[in-house]
Amino acid sequence: MLPINGAFILGLLLSFGSAASAKETAEEHDFSAEFGSNSGEFVLYDAAHEHWLRFHPEQCRVRRSPCSTFKVLNTLIALETDVASGPEFSLPWDGVHHSIEPWNHDQTLRSAFSVSCVWYFQALAKRIGLETYRELLPKIGYGNGDVSGGVTQFWLQSSLTISPDEQVDFLRRLQARKLPFSEKTVNTLLDIMTISRTGPILLRGKTGTGSDSDKEEASMGWFVGSVSTPSGDYFFACRLTGGENPSGRRARAITESILAKLKILPAHE
Domain assignment present for residue 269? The answer is: no
Please answer whether residues 241 and 228 qualify as being in contact, where contact means their C-beta atoms are separated by less than 8 angstroms: no
Please answer whether residues 145 and 130 qualify as being in contact, where contact means their C-beta atoms are separated by less than 8 angstroms: no
Domain assignment present for residue 155? The answer is: yes
CATH of the domain at 253: 3.40.710.10
Q: Indicate the number of domains in the chain.
A: 1
- Per-residue pLDDT 10s for the chain (269 aa) are 444 444 444 444 444 444 455 689 999 999 999 999 999 999 999 999 999 999 999 999 999 999 999 999 999 999 999 999 999 999 999 999 999 999 999 999 999 999 999 999 999 999 999 999 999 999 899 999 999 999 999 999 999 999 999 999 999 999 999 999 999 999 999 999 999 999 999 999 999 999 875 566 889 999 999 999 999 999 999 999 999 999 999 999 999 999 999 999 998 64
Alpha-carbon span 133 to 177, nearest angstrom? 20
pLDDT at residue number 218: 87
Domain of 102? 24-261
Contacts of 40 (CB under 8 A, 6+ apart): 56, 59, 221, 238, 239, 240, 241, 242, 243, 246, 251, 254
Angle at which helices 71-80 and 118-128 cross, to 10°: 40
pLDDT at residue number 20: 53
Domain assignment present for residue 12? The answer is: no
Q: Strand ranges (DSSP E) for the chain?
A: 25-28, 39-46, 51-55, 90-91, 107-108, 194-198, 201-211, 218-229, 232-242
What are the φ/ψ torsions at residue 226 (nearest 5 degrees)? -150, 160
Which of these is catalytic: 68, 111, 226, 257?
68
pLDDT at residue number 64: 97
The secondary structure of residue 64, as a DSSP letter, is: B
Please state the pTM of the whole predicted model. 0.90
DSSP one-letter string for 186-225:
HHHHHHHHEEEEETTEEEEEEEEEEE-TT-SSEEEEEEEE
Domain assignment present for residue 14? The answer is: no
Alpha-carbon span 246 to 222, nearest angstrom? 9
Domain assignment present for residue 142? The answer is: yes
Please answer whether residues 186 and 177 qualify as being in contact, where contact means their C-beta atoms are separated by less than 8 angstroms: yes
Please answer whether residues 69 and 208 qualify as being in contact, where contact means their C-beta atoms are separated by less than 8 angstroms: yes
Domain assignment present for residue 8? The answer is: no
Burial, 47: exposed, middle or buried (Cβ in 10 Å; 0-12, 13-18, 19+)?
middle
Active site residue 213: no
Distances from the Cα of 171 to the Cαs of 9, 186, 198, in angstroms?
18, 11, 21
Please answer whether residues 118 and 68 qualify as being in contact, where contact means their C-beta atoms are separated by less than 8 angstroms: yes
Domain assignment present for residue 127? The answer is: yes
Q: In what order do the strands lie in the sheet with 39-46?
A: 25-28, 51-55, 39-46, 232-242, 218-229, 201-211, 194-198
